[in-house]
Structure 1
Amino acid sequence: MASEIPATMKAVVFVESDKVSVQEHPVPTIADDEILVKTVAIALNPTDWKHIQFKLGRPGSVLGCDFSGVVVKAGKNVTNGVQVGDHVAGVAHGCVYPDKGAFAEYVKADSDLVWVVPKNTFTHEQAAANSAVLWTSVQALYNPRHLGLVEPPEKVAKPEWMLIYGGSTACGLSAIQLARLSGYKTVTTASSRNHELLKSLGADVTIDYREPDLVSKIKQATGDSVKYALDTIGDDETKRVTVQAIAPSGGNIIGLNPMQTNEIERKEVTFHTMSLYTVYGYPISIGSIQIPVVPEDKVHMAAFLKKLPQLVRDGAVKPLPIKSWEGGLEAVQDGLQYMREGKVSAEKIVYLV
């Protein structure tokens, strides 16, 4: 297969602030512990348009995180069972490096940071949609540096309440499923039109985020016993609600906006933010924020990805709702604008490449 790999490919390249274009771009060269994947499907995330708009990206880099495709080449040190011909999905570090983004005809990846999609389970579109949001939820809920909850297939001995603010975000949809698998009780906020979907994924209580006295309603529904919270939105108001919703005895909150400060008024509550990008095993920068290498994050994610195929076979992890967008790579810009305008709710935008 290696002889069939071209020298160049079509890729969505970050040109300058707020501008990307589809260009001919070099096919990535892989290291001995990496694989090269022929991309079949990609999915959009908010981080994609934010890197463009807020000048977090680097000119000449390939955009995009979520991909699903077929392995066409494997480095000589790849010994973890990933083979040429496998259907795999993963998360690339988009809009920072010229050879790492996902919105391209080929993408390279660390062989430990993909999962092999079992046959007759997820399609390529579904696998791409269950990438960054699932990984983010896994890191937020289970990584010992964050909430440190009990990981599936194990279950918590005694059910405890957790709040997932923004249940109809893609991360919220994933986190609700995972919390249910681990035996936690979840209260979540979302528009009323999405409540049935969230309940079908495992939410115990759903509350419209527009409700007056939202904090009081969360406390009433949970007996004022919320111990854990995940804020998938990451603005000042959602942070305020999650902090106030924690039980009087205290608890732990993870926010998904790494640009927020960790400062809060309640001493018995811990709040900190996280970035999925720490799973790559090298230091990263997000704007002016410098994050050192965190080797244990990569180890934790790689271990979970080994368990993921069986969870998918068992139907424990379900595919997310998707919005298939026609036009391939050339139409990515349109989808990013649609997302930037706040039109995405309870679904993932995906493309066939």
Structure 2
Amino acid sequence: MASEIPTIMKAVVFVEKNQVSVKEHPVPNIADDEVLVKTVAVSQNPTDFKHIDYRLGKVGSVLGCDYSGIVVKVGKSVHDAPKVGDHVAGSAHGAAYIDEGAFAEYVKAPAELVWVVPENTFSHEQAAAYGVAFWTAVQAFYAPGRLGLVEPPAKVSTPEWVLIYGGSSAVGLCAIQLARLSGYKVVTTASPRNHELLKSLGADVTIDYRDPEVVSKIKHATGDSLKYAAEMIGDLESHRIAIEAIGPSGGKVVGLSPMRNSKEFARKDVTLTETLLYSVNGRPFGMGSTIFPAAPEDRAHMVSFLKKLPQLVRDGAVKPIPVKLWDGGLEGVPSGLQYMREGKVSAEKIVYRV
């Protein structure tokens, strides 16, 4: 199969602020510990448009993080899995490197940072949707220094409450399932139109995020015993609500954007941390002018968890999240990004067939 791999592919390339273009781009070369994947479906995340709108990425790089496809080449040191012909899915650091990025006909990845999708389970579209969103929920809950919840297949001995603020976000949809899988009770916030979906995924209590009494309703639902909150929206108001919802005995809040920006809401009895998925690559990385140090412990944790994921999918312990197939393939990405910029995405993932 390696002899059939071209040297040039089509890819969505970051050309200038606010703009991407489908261009011819070199097919990436792989290292000894990497695999090359022929993409079948790719999935969109807010980080994609933010990288180009806020100039967090690198001009000339390939956009996109989430992909699902077929392994067409493996490096010399990849012996067992994955192997050529396997259906795999994963998450790249899109718009950061010239030879990486998921919105392309081929994507390379470390072999240990892809997961093999079991036959007769997730489609390519569904598997592509289990990238940034699912991995971020895993990291927020279980990775070193975050919430410290009990990790599946283990369960917490005595059920406790977890707040998932932003339950209808893609990360929230995955986080609800993981929290239930770990044996926790889930209170979450979302628009009422999405409450039934969230309950079907395992939420015990759903509250309208627009309700002016949202904090008191969370406290009432949990008996004011909340110790853990995952804030999946990333703005100051959602930070405030998550922090204020923690019960009088204190607890932990993890957020998707720097929690240090929420000093005005800080409590001495509440530990604030943030999570940024790109650390799972285990190398230093930049976003704009900010440089983040390598976090090998984050990579080791994700590698360990991804080994569990195929069985969780096979057992039906985690379910696919809703997807919206966007027309046009890679050529449709600019319009899909604009749709997301306008805040129109809710309780689903935009996915493209490549």
Contact kept, 8 Å, 1:219 with 1:226, in 2: the verdict is yes
The CA deviation at 1:196 is 0.3
TM-score, length-normalised on structure 1?
Answer: 0.98
Change (3 A) 1:259 1:57: farther
Distance 1:58 1:287 in 2: 9
1:9-57 alpha-carbon deviations (Å, 9 max, x no partner): 0000000110100000000000000000000000000000000111101
The CA deviation at 1:131 is 1.1
The CA deviation at 1:261 is 2.9
Instruction: Give 1:155's aligned residue.
Output: 155
SS at match of 2:146: coil
Instruction: Give 1:195's aligned residue.
Output: 195
Distance 1:147 1:42 in 2: 29
The CA deviation at 1:259 is 8.0
Distance 1:51 1:257 in 2: 14
Contact kept, 8 Å, 1:164 with 1:186, in 2: the verdict is yes
Distance 1:98 1:155 in 2: 42
Percent identity reads 69
Distance 1:183 1:75 in 2: 39
The CA deviation at 1:287 is 2.3
Distance 2:23 2:351 in 1: 20
Contact kept, 8 Å, 1:278 with 1:293, in 2: the verdict is yes
2:284 is the counterpart of 1:283: yes
Distance 1:80 1:159 in 2: 38
Contact kept, 8 Å, 2:239 with 2:259, in 1: the verdict is no
Instruction: Give 1:256's aligned residue.
Output: 256
Contact kept, 8 Å, 1:80 with 1:111, in 2: the verdict is no
SS at match of 2:167: coil
Distance 1:15 1:279 in 2: 26
2:16 is the counterpart of 1:21: no
Q: Where do 1:106-117 residues align within 5 Å?
A: 106-117=106-117
The CA deviation at 1:257 is 1.5
Contact kept, 8 Å, 2:239 with 2:262, in 1: the verdict is no
2:102 is the counterpart of 1:102: yes
Instruction: Give the letter for the 1:64 counterpart.
Output: G
2:49 is the counterpart of 1:39: no
1:261-304 alpha-carbon deviations (Å, 9 max, x no partner): 36342100011212100000100122232211010110100000
Instruction: Give 1:235's aligned residue.
Output: 235
Q: Gaps spanning 5+ residues in structure 1: where?
A: none
Distance 1:274 1:249 in 2: 24
Instruction: Give the letter for the 2:78 counterpart.
Output: V
1:282-336 alpha-carbon deviations (Å, 9 max, x no partner): 0012223221101011010000000000000000010000001111000001000
Q: Where do 1:118-133 residues align within 5 Å?
A: 118-133=118-133
SS at match of 1:319: coil
Q: Gaps spanning 5+ residues in structure 2: where?
A: none
Instruction: Give the letter for the 1:297 counterpart.
Output: D
TM-score, length-normalised on structure 2?
Answer: 0.98
Distance 1:231 1:260 in 2: 14
Contact kept, 8 Å, 1:234 with 1:260, in 2: the verdict is no
